[in-house]
Amino acid sequence: MKLVVLAGTPGSGKTSVLLHTIRTLVKSGKRPAVVKVDCLWTDDDQRFGKLGIPVHVGLAKDMCPDHFTIYNTDAMLDWGASNNADIVLNETAGLCLRCAPYPDECMAICVIDVTTGPNTPLKVGPLLTTADIVVMTKGDLVSQAEREVFRERVLDVNPSCMIIESNGLTGKGAFELAELISEGPEVRDNMVLRYNPPLAICSLCTGETRVAHKHHMGVLRQLDGFMEYRGE
Amino acid sequence: MSEELTLTIIGGVDKDGVPEPVKFLEVSKGEIIGIVGPTGSGKSTLIDDIEQLAQGDTPTGRSILINGKKPDALTRVDPRKKLVAQLSQKMHFLADMTVADFLQMHARSRGKAPGLVDRVIELANTLTGEPISPDTYLTVLSGGQSRSLMTADIAVISDSPVVLIDEIENAGIKKQEALQLLAGEGKIVVVVTHDPVLALMASRRIVIRNGAMVDIITTSREEQDVCSRITQVDNWLMSLRETIRRGEIVEELA
Ligand SMILES: Nc1nc2c(ncn2[C@@H]2O[C@H](COP(=O)(O)OP(=O)(O)OP(=O)(O)O)[C@@H](O)[C@H]2O)c(=O)[nH]1
Ligand SMILES: Nc1ncnc2c1ncn2[C@@H]1O[C@H](COP(=O)(O)OP(=O)(O)OP(=O)(O)O)[C@@H](O)[C@H]1O
Ligand SMILES: [Mg+2]
Ligand SMILES: [Mg+2]
Ligand SMILES: [Zn+2]
Ligand SMILES: [Zn+2]
């Protein structure tokens, strides 16, 4: 069984790219299945469903979607196995930007929208910096120079990644992506995360709703960047 | 750039999936080739295929060969090895950066010296009206200023042996100067155009209809003569345009 974790900011083109990639995978005899994790709502399952492959949705609701993805990874793999899949493709919401839900033995793919400008790679954090493959989408909407500058910025923050310039509308890049996925690692037991989840738990995580600083405990970072520990 | 260079286009399919009439076209170093056809017919799509060095993986199914061979993966993607520079139809930048920062970053991505930035801006300012300054944000540049900067950027930083130009006449910049800058010496130049002067300056032109290359016309002697005559008319029009732009009065009817 192979695991692909595909993450990226909302609307970056994850589903569009995956749809083309899945068609290529199926043509080459693979048996992919998709798990879509989102926060509140998604209709991606209907888009994937049209391809006639097994699809499952997980909604993280009030949990961090990346945390939700992480501790449900084995459940996804079991579900994939029981549906006779040999590749589980996990499209995540990727909203947190501090967590990255990539285990070590997976193909970690970050999808990033070129039209958001070349400062975006600096903002995305571990989602981008710890990915194996970075898929740049919507290059059809900017000039060649902008695509090249964006690419340079991606390599600044993740020098060892493979970059694929893809187009979610035409399917450009899907063939290369499918090839890389087919060559990706097999999952093993005892997978470990690539990146430490952020420091927790503050009192907001446990239900505090009052705003003022004096009501909060745990590890807190102040506006000037200084970290403190409040509590016992 | 003294080595031989040929660019080959292997035909694919039109918008209806029917094989296109022109199945093979080879372009050599030093040639300017035009692309003409109605709006929406697929001219930009053809130069996008060339930019991507398509290998049957775009909606047109075309393949592009360099020196008769399939280009390797790095030539296709790594800007430091890229053979193709493209001035697309895009009239605006989306990047939230200053002109100087952007050009510096672009020079780096192409493996060029940062010192080129000043040259690009200087050159861009010879093509546009109101000058561009290095600390302007890209997103506030006008359409004409953006096109001038894109043009100068390609001439100086991208400086590749194959140059693709999409409708340079529509930007309100000096089109013949711009073409000269981009064409340089001994390059393969592909120009999408609706402009008779530019179309007839090419030695051949590809005719596009319904997504397909339907014909290749070699510019005849008669057409070359027509070209030099309309160039004069065109230059006159351009000088009138400049006069009016400067806020002056047009005096004589030549
Ligand atoms: N122009 C252009 N549009 C694209 C491209 N890729 C995707 N889109 C469009 O971008 C929008 C969002 O694409 P999706 O594939 O739904 O994005 P997503 O990342 O799966 O979105 P969520 O699952 O909601 O986070 C759609 O309207 C797509 O048609 C591209 O390469 N070029
Ligand atoms: N061979 C083809 N197969 C499928 N779709 C195509 C093909 N050629 C062009 N198209 C589609 O046709 C549309 C118009 O093409 P394009 O933008 O290249 O036209 P154009 O000739 O450059 O028009 P304009 O003069 O307005 O710039 C695009 O959506 C493009 O994807
Ligand atoms: Mg989606
Ligand atoms: Mg066009
Ligand atoms: Zn998180
Ligand atoms: Zn918290």
Mean pLDDT over each residue of chain A, to the nearest integer: 91
For residue A121, the chain B residues in CB contact (below 8 A) are none
Q: Is A118 on the interface with B (CB under 8 A)?
A: yes
Nearest listed ligand to the Cα of residue B16? 2
Number of helices (H) and strands (E) in chain A: give both, helices first. 8, 9
Cα–Cα dist A190/A35, whole Å: 20
As beta bridge partners, residue B162 has B84, B188
Look at residue B1 and tell me if it is in a domain. Answer: no
The answer to whether residues B35 and B67 belong to one domain is: yes
Single-letter residue type at A85: A
Question: Where along chain A do the CATH 3.40.50.300 domains lie?
Answer: 2-182
Residue B157, min C-alpha distance to chain A (Å): 9
The answer to whether residues B103 and B130 belong to one domain is: yes
For residue A161, give the DSSP letter.
-
How does B157-176 read in b/e, with b if 16+ C-beta sit within 10 Å? bbbbbbbbbbbbbbbbbbbb
Pairing of strands A55-59, A2-7: unpaired
Single-letter residue type at A71: Y
Residue A217 has pLDDT above 80, yes or no: yes
The answer to whether residues B83 and B119 belong to one domain is: yes
For residue B106, the chain A residues in CB contact (below 8 A) are 145, 148-149, 152
Residue B177 has pLDDT above 70, yes or no: yes
Name the A residues in 166-185 with CB < 8 Å from any B CB. Answer: 170-172, 175
Contacts of B96 (CB under 8 A, 6+ apart): A117, A118, A119, B137, B138, B139
Optimal mutation site among B60, B80, B94, interface A, most CBs of chain A within 10 A:
B94
Residue B1, pLDDT score: 47
As beta bridge partners, residue A135 has A111, A164
Single-letter residue type at A65: P
Residue B17, pLDDT score: 97
Backbone angles phi, psi at A81, to 5 degrees: -60, -40
Residue with tokens 């290359």: B213
Q: How confident is the model at residue B77 (pLDDT cuts 50, 70, 90)?
A: confident
Range of the domain at B233: 228-254
Burial class of residue A156 in the structure, from the number of CB atoms within 10 Å of its CB (0-12 exposed, 13-18 middle, 19+ buried): middle
Mean pLDDT over each residue of chain B, to the nearest integer: 92
Name the B residues in 110-139 with CB < 8 Å from any A CB. Answer: 110
Residue B12, pLDDT score: 97
Task: Point out the ligand 2 atom lying closest to the alpha carbon of residue B61.
Answer: 1
Give the ipTM of the model, two decimals please.
0.89
- Do B57 and A118 make contact, defined as CB atoms within 8 angstroms? no
Closest residue by Cα to residue B190 from B153, B216, B227: B216
- Atom 4 of ligand 2: nearest residue by CA position: B15
Residue B252 has pLDDT above 80, yes or no: no
Residue A228, pLDDT score: 83
- For the record, the structure tokens of B132 come out as 């561009």
The answer to whether residues B180 and B249 belong to one domain is: no
Cα–Cα dist A88/A108, whole Å: 12
The SS3 call for residue A101 is coil
Q: How confident is the model at residue A154 (pLDDT cuts 50, 70, 90)?
A: very high
- For the record, the structure tokens of B119 come out as 């040259």
Q: Is the peptide bond between B64 and the residue preceding it cis, with omega within 30 degrees of 0?
A: no
What end-to-end distance do the CA atoms of chain A give, in Å? Answer: 46
The answer to whether residues B182 and B249 belong to one domain is: no
Residue A188 has pLDDT above 80, yes or no: yes
For ligand 1, pick from A15, A16, A92 the residue to mutate: most ligand atoms within 8 Å of CB: A16
Cα–Cα dist A80/A85, whole Å: 5
Angle CA B28–B29–B32, to nearest 5: 80
For residue A215, give the DSSP letter.
G
Q: Is A143 on the interface with B (CB under 8 A)?
A: yes
The answer to whether residues B17 and B48 belong to one domain is: yes
Task: Express the helix, strand and coil content of chain A in percent, nearest 5 each.
Answer: 35, 20, 45
The answer to whether residues B192 and B254 belong to one domain is: no
- For the record, the structure tokens of A15 come out as 């589903």
Of B77, B97, B105, the CB nearest to A163: B77
For residue B52, the chain A residues in CB contact (below 8 A) are 172
The answer to whether residues B61 and B151 belong to one domain is: yes
Instruction: Indicate the range of B28-37, B45-54, B69-78, B110-119 predicted with least confidence.
Output: B69-78
The answer to whether residues B192 and B250 belong to one domain is: no
**pLDDT (tens digit per residue) in B194-249:** 999 999 999 999 999 999 999 999 999 999 999 999 999 988 888 898 899 889 99
Average pLDDT for B80-98: 90
**A147 in Cβ contact with A164 (< 8 Å):** no
Residue A213, pLDDT score: 84
Residue A178, min C-alpha distance to chain B (Å): 13
Average pLDDT for B117-136: 93
The answer to whether residues B235 and B176 belong to one domain is: no
Look at residue B187 and tell me if it is in a domain. Answer: yes
Residue B170 has pLDDT above 80, yes or no: no
**pLDDT (tens digit per residue) in A42-89:** 899 999 999 999 999 999 888 888 888 888 999 999 999 999 999 999
- Do B95 and A149 make contact, defined as CB atoms within 8 angstroms? yes
- For the record, the structure tokens of B232 come out as 């004069």
Residue B253, pLDDT score: 64
Please give the interface size between A and B, counted as residue pairs whose CB atoms are below 8 Å apart.
69
Residue B86 has pLDDT above 90, yes or no: yes
For residue A118, the chain B residues in CB contact (below 8 A) are 95-97, 102, 105
CATH architecture classification, A2-182: 3-Layer(aba) Sandwich (3.40)
Look at residue B182 and tell me if it is in a domain. Answer: yes
Query: What is the pTM (predicted TM-score) of this model?
Result: 0.91
- For the record, the structure tokens of B137 come out as 């944000």
Look at residue B157 and tell me if it is in a domain. Answer: yes
**A195 in Cβ contact with A206 (< 8 Å):** no
Kindly state if the Cβ of A69 falls inside 6 Å of ligand 1.
no
Q: How confident is the model at residue A199 (pLDDT cuts 50, 70, 90)?
A: low
For residue B19, give the DSSP letter.
B
Task: Point out the ligand 2 atom lying closest to the alpha carbon of residue B212.
Answer: 1
- Atom 1 of ligand 1: nearest residue by CA position: A138
Optimal mutation site among B88, B102, B158, interface A, most CBs of chain A within 10 A:
B88
Q: Is B157 on the interface with A (CB under 8 A)?
A: yes
Task: Point out the ligand 1 atom lying closest to the alpha carbon of residue A141.
Answer: 1
The answer to whether residues B248 and B180 belong to one domain is: no
For residue A140, the chain B residues in CB contact (below 8 A) are 48
Q: How confident is the model at residue B4 (pLDDT cuts 50, 70, 90)?
A: confident
Residue B78, pLDDT score: 85
Contacts of A19 (CB under 8 A, 6+ apart): A47, A48, A51
Residue B81, pLDDT score: 85
Cα–Cα dist B55/A11, whole Å: 28
- Do B105 and A142 make contact, defined as CB atoms within 8 angstroms? no
Single-letter residue type at B61: G
Contacts of A82 (CB under 8 A, 6+ apart): none
Q: Is B51 on the interface with A (CB under 8 A)?
A: yes
Residue B254 has pLDDT above 70, yes or no: no
Look at residue B239 and tell me if it is in a domain. Answer: yes
> What are the Cα distances from residue A1, in Å, to A58, A75, A126, A155?
20, 13, 25, 30
Kindly state if the Cβ of A8 falls inside 6 Å of ligand 1.
yes
Kindly state if the Cβ of B193 falls inside 6 Å of ligand 2.
no
Cα–Cα dist B181/A55, whole Å: 54
Residue B73, pLDDT score: 80
Closest residue by Cα to residue A99 from A67, A129, A59, A63: A67
**B94 in Cβ contact with A146 (< 8 Å):** yes
The answer to whether residues B130 and B157 belong to one domain is: yes
Cα–Cα dist B219/B191, whole Å: 14
Cα–Cα dist B114/B150, whole Å: 17
Q: In total, how many domains does chain B have?
A: 2
Task: Point out the ligand 1 atom lying closest to the alpha carbon of residue A16.
Answer: 15
